[in-house]
Amino acid sequence: MLIAILFGFSLLLTSCSDGTPSRERFPGPQGATTDSDRANTQKAVLGGFDPLNTQLAGSKQNNSAKKENAKRLLVQIQLHQSVKLKPGMLLYVAARRPEGGAPVAVQRITASQIEFPATITLSEQNSMLRDGSPFEGQVIVSARLDQDGDPLSKQKGDAGALSAEVSIQNQKISLTLKPE
């Protein structure tokens, strides 16, 4: 009996030695394993948010088709001559609905990691809408260079700019950051 158990265990170890699960041993849709179950559970607990922003196993999305149809805003940002970059400054680029409320999409970038003028893309990948609302419609785009890391605080040395109302239609807008 003990020999049969050890033999079965050794077969199991050698059959999975290449690291790829077999559909015979792990039934279900192609690519679905216990890791995808855990990822789906985590995504459900977080209200549909995937913290790694990756396609989950078993998902039926087609990323190449999604990229072609994705709506995005290209925001070209330049600095006014009086703006001085300081270590630790953060650049926030956000799109909000004209009626206000939480941002539709946000990018947060350490300013020392980019070269100005810079083009920042806002798309569904930066969306903060976790209620299933589509990334479309009219928005106002803001860009801020912030010294203390708090996007809501304003202090001397911060710089910002605000766009007119624009439509999310794969268009490019330009903002010049000036001292606030």
Q: Which residue ranges form the domains of the chain, and what is each CATH number? A: 23-58 (no CATH), 70-179 (2.60.40.2580)
Kindly give, in sequence order, each residue whose CB lies less than 8 Å from that of residue 164, ignoring residues fewer than 6 positions away. 140
| Location of structure tokens 């490019």 | 172
Whole-angstrom Cα distance, residue 129 to residue 59?
20
pTM reported for the whole predicted model: 0.61
Whole-angstrom Cα distance, residue 106 to residue 127?
7
Total Cβ atoms within 10 A of residue 72: 19
Whole-angstrom Cα distance, residue 115 to residue 103?
25
Side chain identity at residue 68, one-letter code = E
Whole-angstrom Cα distance, residue 170 to residue 180?
29
Identify each DSSP E strand in 18-168 by its residue range: 72-79, 90-96, 105-110, 118-123, 138-146, 159-167
For each of the chain's 180 residues, which pLDDT tens digit applies? Answer: 555 454 454 544 444 444 544 444 444 445 444 455 555 555 544 444 444 444 433 344 444 444 545 688 999 999 999 999 999 999 999 999 999 888 999 999 999 999 999 999 998 888 887 776 778 899 999 999 999 888 888 888 899 999 999 998 878 999 999 998
| Location of structure tokens 């980019």 | 114
